[in-house]
Amino acid sequence: MKLVRLKFRLLRQDFIKIFLLCFGIPIFTFLLIAGNEMITSEWTAHEFLHVFFGSVMNLPLNWMYWIFLSFGYVLLLQIVWKPHVHMYEIYQILRYKDIGLYWQIELVVGFLFTVFYLFCYFAVMFTALSVLRVQALWDVQWVIILFAITLNLFIHALIWLTLKMYTLVEVANIVSVLLFYTGVRIAEPYIPLYYAMVDHIKGYILSVFAMELVIILILAAFIIRKAKTMDLD
């Protein structure tokens, strides 16, 4: 519990940054969507979901909205997973106690903030639809797409962290950028972000979710394994 309290005490110092990211990115994105004047009162929330959280085949410009979503998430990760090893108290815990537990907490916190970031994103979008007089009726697909994007973005986060720990942070950054960019511009099943788009997962949702959960567990195991052998000095 001491590590958990330490982690959230440190995150409170960045509360304003986290708040601005979680609400600023979706508000900015929706202003761009509204500025394009493509949404009319005849639309429904269901149609909005399939167009703006689908592939570029549905809307040529929506690759930009995906990029904004991804960019905000990458910035959030830099805050949530900011290294604090220089702090004496954390340094002592890592040096003499359970490093594996520390990284397990880091991964869980990263996942929770992934959920929080996307929940804020979807909440802003759902609320803002009423401004454009769209029929913003509740649809279970909001939950399905939220879950799909959560798993997918978290896989990207773990890929970034794995590459950072096993290679160089520059390699991790380059690969992450390429994955996000190709994932929104190229609709191919071997591109990770492909599986977050609603029109691509339709028909085999459970298989995709099961596969992504397995990938998350494997990457988490690699991260914790490497963390236990890293030199803190």
Chain segment 164-203, per-residue pLDDT in tens: 888 888 888 888 888 888 877 776 666 677 777 777 766 6
Confidence of residue 210 (pLDDT cuts 50, 70, 90): confident
Confidence of residue 135 (pLDDT cuts 50, 70, 90): low
Please count the structural domains in the chain.
1
Smallest CA-to-CA distance from 147 within 198, 86, 107, 94 is with 198
pLDDT digits (tens, 9 = 90+) for 95-129: 556 777 778 888 999 999 999 999 999 888 888 77
Confidence of residue 93 (pLDDT cuts 50, 70, 90): low
- Give the three-class secondary structure for 51: helix
Confidence of residue 231 (pLDDT cuts 50, 70, 90): low
Confidence of residue 233 (pLDDT cuts 50, 70, 90): very low
Q: How many CB atoms lie within 10 A of CB 91?
A: 13
Structural domain boundaries enclosing 106? 2-229
* Nearest 10 degrees: Cα torsion 103, 107, 112, 115: 170
Considering the chain, what percentage of its residues have pLDDT values greater than 70? 79
Residue 153's pLDDT is 92
- Give the three-class secondary structure for 233: coil
Residue 23's pLDDT is 92
In the predicted structure, residue 232 carries a pLDDT above the cut 60: no
Residue 87's pLDDT is 57
**What pTM was estimated for this model as a whole?**
0.86
- Out of 7-16, 111-120, 127-136, 212-221, least confident range: 127-136
Residue at token pair 């998350």: 216
* CA quadruple 130, 134, 136, 140: dihedral sign: negative
Question: Considering the chain, what is the average pLDDT of its residues?
Answer: 79
Residue 95's pLDDT is 57
